[in-house]
Structure 1
Amino acid sequence: MNTAAAFDRGARRYDLMVGLNPGYHRELARAADALTSRLGREPQALLDLACGSGASTRALVDAAPEGSYVLGLDASPGMLGRARAKNWPQQVRFERATVGELNLDRWTRGSFDGALACYLFRNVPAERRDHAIAEVFELLRPGGWLCCQEYSVAGNPAAQRVWGAVAHGAIIPLGVVIDRNPGLYRYLYRSVVEFDSVTTFADRLAAAGFVDVAHRTASGWQQGVLHTFIARKPEESS
Structure 2
Amino acid sequence: MALNFRILLRNYLKRPEQINVRPVTSTSQSTSNEKETHFGFETVKESEKQEKVLKVFENVAEDYDIMNDVMSLGIHRLWKDYFISSLSPTNNTKLLDVAGGTGDIAFRFIDYVKTYQRQNCHVTVTDINSHMLNVGKIRSKALNHDPGIINWQEGNAEELPFKDNTFNAYTIAFGARNCTHIDKVLSEAYRVLQPGGRFMCLEFSQLENTTLQWLYDQYSFQVIPVMGQLIAKQWKPYQYLVESIRQFPNQEKYKNMIEEAGFRQVAFENLTLGIVAIHSGFKL
Structure 2 spans left out of the alignment, 5+ residues: 1-48
Residue equivalent to 2:81: 29
Query: What displacement does 1:182 show?
Result: 1.1
Whether 2:112 is the aligned partner of 1:63: answer: yes
Q: What does residue 144 of structure 1 align with?
A: 197
Contact preservation (8 Å) 2:263, 2:282: yes
- With a CA cutoff of 8 Å and minimum separation of 6, indicate the structure with the bigger relative contact order: 1
Instruction: Indicate how the Cα distance of structure 1 residues 169 and 63 shifts in structure 2: closer, same or farther if over 3 A, else same.
Output: farther
1:108 matched to 2:163: yes
TM-score of the superposed pair, with normalisation by structure 1: 0.87
CA distance, structure 2, for counterparts of residue 162 and residue 49 of structure 1: 31
Matched, 1:98 2:148: no
Distance apart, 1:93 and its partner CA: 1.0
Could you list the runs of 5+ residues in structure 1 that have no partner in the other structure? none
Distance 1:163 1:59 in 2: 28
Give the letter for the 2:239 counterpart. R
Q: Is the 8 A contact 1:73 1:97 kept in 2?
A: yes
Residues 46 and 114, structure 1, Cα contact 8 Å, conserved in 2: yes
User: Is contact 1:48–1:71 with CA below 8 Å preserved after alignment?
Assistant: yes
Contact 1:32 1:116 (C-alpha < 8 Å) held by counterparts:
no
The change in CA–CA distance for 1:66 and 1:101 in structure 2 (over 3 A counts) is: same
For residue 228 of structure 1, what is the aligned residue in structure 2? Answer: 278
What CA distance in whole angstroms lies between the structure 2 residues aligned with 1:233 and 1:159? 35
Partners of 1:130 and 1:154 in 2: CA distance: 23
Distance 1:50 1:162, change over 3 A: farther
Q: What TM-score do the two structures reach when normalised by structure 2? A: 0.74
Amino acid at match of 1:212: Q
- How far apart are 1:66 and its partner, in Å? 4.7
Q: Give the AA of the match of 2:95.
A: L
- Partners of 2:244 and 2:283 in 1: CA distance: 27
Structure 1 residue 188: deviation in Å?
Answer: 0.6
Report how many residues are paired. 223
